[in-house]
Amino acid sequence: MPSLTRLKPGKRMSQAVIRGNAVYLAGQVAETSAGKSVREQTAEVLGAIDALLAEAGTNKTKIMMATIYLADISTFAEMNEVWDKWVVEGETPARATVEAKLVAPEYKVEIAVVATI
């Protein structure tokens, strides 16, 4: 049975868990751009995802599934402007986007992904 590796484990959760060839990232939110625009927060979150995937030994072209939570679905196009520049054409993951009340009002976007190594 494959072992588990936890990246940046905390009291309540790890930022990523690796099992076999799968990498599961916790939902990422913007820390430095909290309270700013969805565009700014999305860029920060995608940068955090890039960093965690790199630490796990993979990259965004290996993302199988992305789940995007928006505090306000009317910001969908704004988020997509940043997303579309970030994803690699022909390597886009399956994706779901939903409106949800996030953990704090300053967060406007949260993204969780599952990738392979």
Domain edges within the chain:
26-116
Contact criterion met (CB below 8 Å) for 93 and 54: no
**Whole-model pTM?**
0.95
Backbone torsions φ then ψ of 21, nearest 5 degrees: -100, 15
When the pLDDT of each residue in the chain is averaged and rounded to a whole number, the result is 97
Average pLDDT value for residue range 82-105:
97
Is pLDDT above 80 for 36? yes
Task: Give dist(CA 75, CA 90) in Å, integer.
Answer: 25
Task: Give dist(CA 79, CA 72) in Å, integer.
Answer: 11
Residue 11 CB neighbour total at 10 angstroms: 4
Selected from 3.40.50.300, 3.40.50.720, 3.30.1330.40, 1.10.10.60, the CATH number assigned to the domain covering 26-116 reads 3.30.1330.40
Q: Give bridge partners of residue 114 from the DSSP assignment.
A: 24, 65
Backbone torsions φ then ψ of 30, nearest 5 degrees: -80, 125
The pair of structure tokens assigned to 41 is 């927060």
Is pLDDT above 90 for 1? no
